[in-house]
Amino acid sequence: MALDLAAAARWTARFAALIEENKQYLIDLDAQIGDADHGANLDRGMKKVMELDVTGFASPGDYLKKVGMTLVSTVGGASGPLYGTFFLRLGAAWPEEGDAAGLGAALRAGLEGIQARGKAVVGDKTMVDALAPAVDAYDAAAGSGTGPALAAAAAACAAGRDATIPLVARKGRASYLGERSAGHQDPGATSVTLLLDAAAETLG
Amino acid sequence: MIGIVVVSHSRALAKAAVELAGEMVPAEGRPAIAIAAGLDDVTLGTDAQAIADAIVGVDSPDGVAVLTDLGSAILSSEMALELVGPEIAGRVTLAPAPIVEGLVAAVVTASTGADLATVVREANAGLAAKIDHLGADSGAAAGPGAVASPTTALPALETEIEITNEHGLHARPAANLVAGLRGLDAQIQLTNKAKNKGPVPATSLAGVTTLGLRQGDTLSARITGPDAAVALAKLQQLAADGFGELDATVPIAEADGEIAEQAQTGRQIAVGPAHHFSTAVDTSAYQPGSPATERTRLTQAIGQVLARLHHQAEQPGEHSAVFAAQAILLEDPELTATLNSGVAEGHSAVEIVEQDFAALAAELAALDDPYLRERAQDIRSLARQITAELTGISFDLANLEGILIIDELDPLTATSLNPDRCLGVVTCTGGATGHGVMIAAARGIPVVTGQADAKDLPNNTVVGLDPVQGRLWVNPTMADLAELDKLSLERRNEATLASELCQQPAVTRTGRRILVEANISSLTDAKTAAANGADGSGLVRTEVLFADWNHAPTAEEQAAVFLKIAQGLDGKMITVRTWDPGGDKPLTFLPQDPEANPMLGERGIRAMRRLPELFQEQLKAVALASRRTPVRVMFPMISDVEEVTWAADQLKQALAGVKGHVAMGIMIETPAAALRAADFAPLVDFISIGTNDLIQYTMAADRGNGAVAHLAQGAKAAVWDLIGVAAGAFAGRPVGVCGDLASQPDLTPRLIGLGVTELSVRPPLVGLVKLAVRTRA
C-alpha cells in the first residue's frame, strides 16, 4: 500500500476515532497516577487535527508536521509536545518512496523526538516503554513488508504497554507518586498503542 | 533589559504571579514580561507555539529568561526553543527557578539592568530564603521536587578552620558561632573533618555541639546563598576571635566567681514565705488539646521560657552566659521544627517536649567531651522549664523569692538560686555537707537540712531559719520573731567584727597563734580569701583547678597557675595537694576505668602509682613554684607507709632537678592513717586532716546519701578520737584541718583543744573562724 497523503489521513482519522472511543478509559487510567487529563487532552487535540483540510497539503510529510503543530497547540498537557514532536519528526522523515524500511526510519525518528523531548528511557513508565519495543519489532519485521512489520510493531507495543503496570514511574506527573504508581498501567503507553493499532489497520 | 516569559498551565496563575512580582518594581522600570499560559482563560495546559510567540514578543539582544511551572510547561518551553530557531534560542534561558519566588527575584534583578545570567541566578536562588527560614532539613532541599535544587546552581564557598580553643568548641563558643552567623541569607553546613561528623547547619547549636569539635580538630564549612561571602568573612572573623574566647586562655576555674568580700557568709538568719519546689515536673494531670491547640501552647510556653532566659542573660554576672546559651539552644530552628512536627503527628506538647529533649540530652550525654556532656543538663533544665510552663507549675527558680523548701538540694538547683532573692533553703531530706548545700552556703544562702516536716508546709507559710543551729521556726510568734531578730543582730555583729579584724592574726586567749587559711579551687577563691584575711592556703585543689583542661598541664603551666594563686594570696604559704582524682572527681586527662566502688577505689595517691609521669610532672611544678613563693606539698588518700616512702622518693627526684625547698605532708583521710599517724611522723613534715573523707570512712556513711547522711553529719565521737590520735602523733609540728569541720566556728575551740594548729576553711569564712579562735578558744 502506498504511504501517500490519503494513507496518512486514514491513519490519523483512525487514531482520532480510537482516542474518542477510549477517551474515558484513558482518563480513568490517568486519574489513578496522574492528573486525569490524558484522554480529554488527546481527544481535544485529535478533533482539531480532524478539522484540517487534508487536500490543502502538498505531501504526507507536510500534513503530518501540521498534525504535530496542531497537537502542540491544542493538547495542553505533556502529551502535546510529546505527540507533537513525534508527528513533526515523523513528517520530516516520511519516506517519499513509501517503502517499509523508510516507514521504520520515520517511526524511529518520531521515537527519538519523544525521547529527546521527555528525556525518558525504557523503564521510566512512559509511552517510550511501549513505542521503543514497537519500533524495534517493526525494524525486525520490515523485510516482510509494511503490513507484517506494523502488525508486529502493534503487538510489541501492546506488550510494552502491559509491562508498564508493575513499574514505578520516574518521569512526569506520576513520578510524584513514587512507589504508589506501581500497579497501574501507564496512560501514555496505552494511547501510543492505540496509535500503532491504527497504523496497523490503515497502513498495512 | 532582558525580557521575561512566564509559562504556566494556568493563565490565572501566571497573571497573578506577574501581578505579585510587579508590585516590587514601578511599572516604568519593569522588564518586558509576556505570559504563555493555559490553552485559554480557563483550560489548563501549555502550548509550545504560544511560548515561542511570547519569546519573540519580548526578545531583544539582551536575551530572555523563561520561568515555567511543572510538567509539560518545561517540555513545551523546550519545544518552543526549537520553534523560534537557533538565533533567538541562543539568547533564551529556561530557568529551573520556582515560578513565584523566581519571578519576583527575576523581575527585581532585571529591572536593575542586570544581564541574563545574573537574573537567572537570582531567580534560581529564589528558594534559598525560604529554605533557610524553614531550616535546611525541613524537606525543602531533600524532597523529590528538589531535583534542581536552586542552591546548587550557585558555587559554594568553602573554608577550613583549625580549632584553637583550649576546650574545643564547647557550649559558649559554639553559641557565639551560631549567634554570629544568624540572620544571614546563606546556608552554612559545618563538618568536623577530624572526626568525620556532620554536616550540620550552622543555625543549629545542638547540631554544632554534636560535632564534638576539640582543640586541633578541623572545622570545614560549606556556604551557599546570596550572603555566602558575608557569612564566610564572619566565620573567619569569629575563628580569629577564638569564637569569643580569645581572652580565656588562662583556664583557671573561676567558679563561685560571685563571692565578693562583702558576700553573705551563709550563716545569717532568714525569715520569709516558704515556697515548695520540685525538680520533677508532674505532668500527669496535663490535658492535651487538638494538634493546633498543642502547637499554640507549645509556642507560647517556649516563648515564655525564652523571654525569661533573655532577661536573665542580660543581668550582669557570671551566669548570664549560661542563660544565653540555653536561649540559643531553645531557638534552634531544627529543634522547633522537630517539636512542631511531633505535635502535628498527634503527640501532646508535654509528651513531645519530654520525649525529644530526653533524646537530645541522651545524645549529648553519650559524647566523649565532658563539656558537651554538661549540655545535657541544660537540655534537661530546658525541658523542665517548658513542661512547667505547659502545666502551669511555677518553675522560676532564679526569681524565687523567700525560703525555698526542697526535697534535696542538688548542685544545679543551688547554682540556679539568686542569692539576692532567695533568702534561705530548707531541705526535707539530705545532709548538711552535700555539694548542693555547700554551694548554696558558699553563695551566701543559708540552709537548714533534714527538716522532714517542712514537706507538708503550705506555700507562703512564714518560716524562720538559723543555719548555724539548724533550727526552723514555722509561723513564728512575736516572741519567736524577737528571738530571730536578736540572733540576726548577733550574726551581723559577728560578721562585722569578723570582717573588721580579719586581717589581724588569729591568736587564742591563751596566746597560741592559729593559722586560718583558705581552701582554694580557683583564682577567685584566692582573691576572696585574701580579702577575708587568709593566712595562705591550707589546700589547693589541683584536680579542680585544672578540671577543665583536656590535656595534662605541664610543670611550667602548673607552676604559673600556682604562682598566680600565691600572688592572689599576697605571697603567703600555699599548700598544693597533688592530683586527687577518683570517686566523684574525674579528670579528663586522667582516664580511669569505671569502678564498682569508686570511693574505695583508685583515688588520690593510688592513681599516681599507675601514672608516675603525671605525678612527677606535678611535683616538678611544685618545685619550680617553690623558687618564687613559699609552697608546701601534700599527698591525698594515704593509708599505708609504703605509699609515703614512694611519694617522698618521687618528690626527691623532682627536687633534684630544681633548687628549691618544699615541705612535705600527707592528708589524714582514712582511719588507718589517723590511727597509725605516728608511723608517718618520721617521714613527713606536717599533716592535714581531711575531715569529710575521714567521717565518711569512719562512719561508713556516704554524705551525699540522704538516707545515711545523719551518720555523716557533724562529727561523732569516733571521728574526734581519730583527730586526737593523729594530732597527738604530730605534736609540736603543723597539724591542719582542711575538711568542712574547720569551717564551723562552733567547733573551732574543740579542734584547737586537740592540738590542731591550722584551719583551712571556705574563703568567705576566714574572718569568722579567726574570730572564733580569738573569742572561743
Q: Say whether B472 sits in a helix, a strand or coil.
A: strand
Q: Averaged over B11-16, what is the pLDDT?
A: 92
- Work out the minimum CA distance from A7 to partner chain B, whole angstroms: 27
For position B605, what pLDDT does the model report? 95
Task: Mutate one of B8, B10, B11, B39 to test the A interface: name it (highest A CB count within 10 A).
Answer: B39
Mean pLDDT value across chain B: 83
Greatest mean pLDDT among A141-155, B12-26, B137-151 lies in: A141-155
B228: domain CATH number is 3.30.1340.10
- A113, closest residue in chain B (CA to CA): B79
- The x, y and z cell numbers of residue B85, run together, are 530557531
Q: Is residue B480 part of a domain?
A: no
Residue whose entry in the numeric block shows the C-alpha cell 518594581: B25
Residue B276 has pLDDT above 80, yes or no: yes
Percent of chain B exceeding pLDDT 90 equals 33
Q: Is residue B603 part of a domain?
A: yes
Residues B326 and B217 in one domain: no
Rounded CA-CA distance B380/B397 in Å is 15
Higher pLDDT, B314 or B451: B451
Task: Mutate one of A72, A171, A180 to test the B interface: name it (highest B CB count within 10 A).
Answer: A72
pLDDT digit string (tens) for B497-536? 888 888 889 999 888 999 999 999 888 889 889 999 999 9
Higher pLDDT, B252 or B336: B336
Q: Which of residues 141-160 of B touch A (CB under 8 A)?
A: 144-145
For position B255, what pLDDT does the model report? 37
Higher pLDDT, B299 or B155: B299
pLDDT digit string (tens) for B685-701? 999 999 999 999 999 98
- Work out the minimum CA distance from A156 to partner chain B, whole angstroms: 27
Q: Is residue B710 part of a domain?
A: yes
What b/e readout covers B529-541, taking b as 16+ CB neighbours within 10 angstroms? bbbbbbbbbbbbb
- Work out the minimum CA distance from B147 to partner chain A, whole angstroms: 12
C-beta atoms of B75 and A81 within 8 A: yes
C-beta atoms of B75 and A69 within 8 A: no
Higher pLDDT, B339 or B212: B339
pLDDT digit string (tens) for B392-429? 776 567 777 889 998 877 666 777 788 888 899 998 87
Q: Which residues of B touch A178 (CB under 8 A)?
A: 144
Q: Is residue B214 part of a domain?
A: yes
β B447-448/B506-507 pair status: unpaired
Last residue of a domain, one of B225, B244, B263: B244
- Give a three-class secondary structure readout of B545-564: HCCCCCCCCCHHHHHHHHHH
Residues B526 and B583 in one domain: yes
For position B724, what pLDDT does the model report? 96
Q: Averaged over B224-240, what is the pLDDT?
A: 82
Q: Averaged over B718-747, what is the pLDDT?
A: 94
CB B524 within 8 A of CB B569: no
C-beta atoms of A80 and B44 within 8 A: no
For position B413, what pLDDT does the model report? 74
Mean pLDDT value across chain A: 91
Q: Which residues of A touch B50 (CB under 8 A)?
A: 73
Does A69 reach chain B within 8 Å, measured CB to CB? yes
Q: Which residues pair with B632 in a beta bridge?
A: B575, B663
Low-confidence stretches of chain A (pLDDT < 50) are none
- Work out the minimum CA distance from A78 to partner chain B, whole angstroms: 4
Residues B769 and B671 in one domain: yes
Question: In which domain, by residue range, is B172 found?
Answer: 155-244
Residue B365 has pLDDT above 90, yes or no: no
Question: Shortest CA distance to B178 belongs to which of B148, B210, B152, B156?
Answer: B210
C-beta atoms of B78 and A117 within 8 A: yes
Residue B142 has pLDDT above 60, yes or no: no
Which residues make Cβ contacts (< 8 Å) with residue B70, sequence separation at least 6? A173, B9
**From the list A76, A81, A175, which residue is nearest B39 (CB)?**
A76
Last residue of a domain, one of B90, B124, B145: B145
CB B119 within 8 A of CB B110: yes
Q: Averaged over B483-491, what is the pLDDT?
A: 86
Q: Averaged over B304-320, what is the pLDDT?
A: 70
B51: domain CATH number is 3.40.50.510
Q: Is residue B85 part of a domain?
A: yes
- CATH architecture under which domain A5-203 falls: Alpha Horseshoe (1.25)
Q: Averaged over B562-587, what is the pLDDT?
A: 87
Residues B229 and B198 in one domain: yes
- B81, closest residue in chain A (CA to CA): A117
Does A119 reach chain B within 8 Å, measured CB to CB? no
CB B654 within 8 A of CB B633: no
**From the list A73, A77, A176, which residue is nearest B72 (CB)?**
A77
Q: Averaged over B256-274, what is the pLDDT?
A: 64
CB B633 within 8 A of CB B578: yes
Question: Could you give the number of structural domains in chain B?
Answer: 4
Does A160 reach chain B within 8 Å, measured CB to CB? no
> Residue B13's pLDDT band (boundaries 50, 70, 90)?
very high
pLDDT digit string (tens) for B159-185? 888 888 877 777 667 777 887 787 778
Residue B249 has pLDDT above 50, yes or no: no
C-beta atoms of B71 and A77 within 8 A: yes
Q: Which residues of A touch B72 (CB under 8 A)?
A: 76-81
Question: Across chain A, how many H-helices and E-strands are there?
Answer: 9, 0
Higher pLDDT, B674 or B412: B674
Q: Is residue B306 part of a domain?
A: yes
> Residue B145's pLDDT band (boundaries 50, 70, 90)?
very low
Higher pLDDT, B564 or B373: B564
Q: Say whether B523 sits in a helix, a strand or coil.
A: helix
Which segments of B203-332 does DSSP mark as H helices, in order?
205-210, 228-240, 291-314, 320-331
Domain ranges of chain A: 5-203
Rounded CA-CA distance A129/A159 in Å is 9
Rounded CA-CA distance B521/B525 in Å is 6
**Residue length of chain B:** 777
Residues B542 and B647 in one domain: yes
B518: domain CATH number is 3.20.20.60
Rounded CA-CA distance A111/A121 in Å is 11
Residues of B carrying an active site annotation? 435, 738
- A82, closest residue in chain B (CA to CA): B75
Residues B191 and B118 in one domain: no
C-beta atoms of B44 and A37 within 8 A: yes
C-beta atoms of A80 and B49 within 8 A: no
B331: domain CATH number is 1.10.274.10
Q: Averaged over B229-240, what is the pLDDT?
A: 82
Task: Mutate one of A33, A43, A66, A73 to test the B interface: name it (highest B CB count within 10 A).
Answer: A73
Q: Which residues of A touch B70 (CB under 8 A)?
A: 173
CB B405 within 8 A of CB B270: no
**Torsion angles phi and psi, residue A201, rounded to 5:** -75, -35
pLDDT digit string (tens) for B418-462? 888 889 999 887 665 556 677 787 778 999 988 888 888 888 888
Residues B214 and B164 in one domain: yes
pLDDT digit string (tens) for A154-192? 999 999 999 999 888 887 777 777 778 888 999 999 999
Residue B316 has pLDDT above 60, yes or no: no
Question: Shortest CA distance to A153 belongs to which of A114, A113, A103?
Answer: A103
Residues B163 and B126 in one domain: no
- Work out the minimum CA distance from A119 to partner chain B, whole angstroms: 10
**From the list B49, B70, B75, which residue is nearest A117 (CB)?**
B75
> Residue B77's pLDDT band (boundaries 50, 70, 90)?
very high
- Work out the minimum CA distance from A2 to partner chain B, whole angstroms: 31
Size of interface A-B (CB pairs under 8 A): 61
- B83, closest residue in chain A (CA to CA): A69
ipTM reported for the complex, 2 dp? 0.75
CB B763 within 8 A of CB B735: no
pLDDT digit string (tens) for B607-620? 999 999 999 999 99
**From the list B45, B70, B145, which residue is nearest A76 (CB)?**
B45
Q: Is residue B617 part of a domain?
A: yes
CB B43 within 8 A of CB B72: no
Does B392 reach chain A within 8 Å, measured CB to CB? no
Rounded CA-CA distance B229/B225 in Å is 9
Residues B672 and B601 in one domain: yes
Does A181 reach chain B within 8 Å, measured CB to CB? no
C-beta atoms of A78 and B71 within 8 A: yes
- A115, closest residue in chain B (CA to CA): B75
- Work out the minimum CA distance from B107 to partner chain A, whole angstroms: 27
Tell me the CA distances in angstroms from B22 to B29, B42, B124, B447, one per residue in order: 10, 23, 18, 69
Residues B59 and B196 in one domain: no
Higher pLDDT, B563 or B279: B563
For position B151, what pLDDT does the model report? 38
Provide DSSP, B587-605.
Answer: BTTB-----SSGGGSS-TH
